[in-house]
């Protein structure tokens, strides 16, 4: 049976099974990922592969992360319903849409104006009113809305950017990929305590690099 012959329920069941098999076990995260359809976030030739657990290319030379990585990063954030979340790297908007089902408020930043515009359209279509999408240099965070309970970065830096760490509340969590090349990156979780920062290394990943400045949209 190919993907076209699968019913919506069967496809959703396979999708959730793939998430669980990769370690996404948090019930709230799974419910959010079941609720938010990945399909609208993928355009063109790759739309038919929206329910596969793989990264896919999107506009502006960026990618949409594979669902299991989205799930694991979201799970690691431990988002509560009262949290204010900052996402660096809007991309397709899929990660922000998942977070919107878990948090009180989501601010998402991307350096590509086109991606922010396209994500806003989808958020409006999905009636996700607790997301604010902004075109800006995400490496500096969003000082006017700081501090944040949770910060997620979907592009790799050599080290956690100090402006973002400064905008994280004491008791807050940041999840991001770090690495000096696109071949050696690790997903880490940073907890900010009154005594300092605690780091957990989670798994090897591959993300686009975190770049400064605004993108030149095509």
> How many alpha carbons lie under 13 Å from residue 98 in its C-beta half-sphere?
28
**Catalytic residue selected from 65, 68, 92, 139:** 65
Token duo for residue 97 = 């849409």
> Does residue 58 contact residue 74 with C-beta atoms inside 8 Å?
no
Tokens, residue 68? 């299991």
Residue with tokens 């989670």: 202
DSSP line for 19-77? HHHTT---HHHHHHHHHS-SGGG--GGGGGGTTSSS-EE-GGG-EEPPHHHHHHHHHHH
Confirm whether 65 is a catalytic residue.
yes
Contact 74, 29 (CB under 8 A): yes
* Residue 107 CB contacts under 8 Å (≥ 6 apart), including other chains: 84, 85, 86, 87, 131, 132, 134, 142, 145, 148
Q: What angle do CA 86, 88, 93 make, to 5 degrees?
A: 90
Residues annotated as part of the active site: 65
């Amino acid at each position: 049976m190919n993907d076209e012959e699968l019913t919506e329920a069967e496809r959703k069941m396979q999708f959730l099974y793939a998430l669980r098999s990769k370690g996404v076990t948090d019930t709230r995260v799974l419910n959010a990922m079941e609720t938010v359809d990945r399909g609208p976030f993928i355009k063109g030739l790759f739309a038919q592969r929206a329910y596969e657990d793989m990264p896919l290319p999107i506009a502006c030379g960026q990618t949409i992360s594979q669902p299991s990585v989205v799930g694991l990063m979201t799970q690691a954030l431990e988002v509560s319903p009262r949290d204010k979340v900052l996402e660096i790297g809007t991309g397709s908007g899929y990660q922000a849409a998942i977070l919107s089902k878990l948090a009180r408020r989501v601010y998402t930043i991307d350096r590509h104006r086109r991606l922010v515009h396209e994500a806003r359209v989808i958020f409006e279509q999905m009636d996700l009113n607790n997301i604010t999408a902004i075109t800006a240099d995400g490496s500096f965070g969003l000082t006017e809305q700081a501090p944040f309970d949770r910060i997620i970065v979907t592009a790799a830096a050599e080290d956690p950017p100090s402006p973002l760490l400064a905008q994280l509340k004491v008791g807050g969590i940041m999840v991001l990929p770090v690495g000096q090349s696109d071949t050696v990156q690790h997903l880490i979780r940073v907890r900010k305590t009154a005594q300092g920062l605690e780091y957990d290394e989670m798994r090897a990943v591959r993300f686009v690099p975190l770049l400064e400045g605004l993108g030149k949209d095509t």
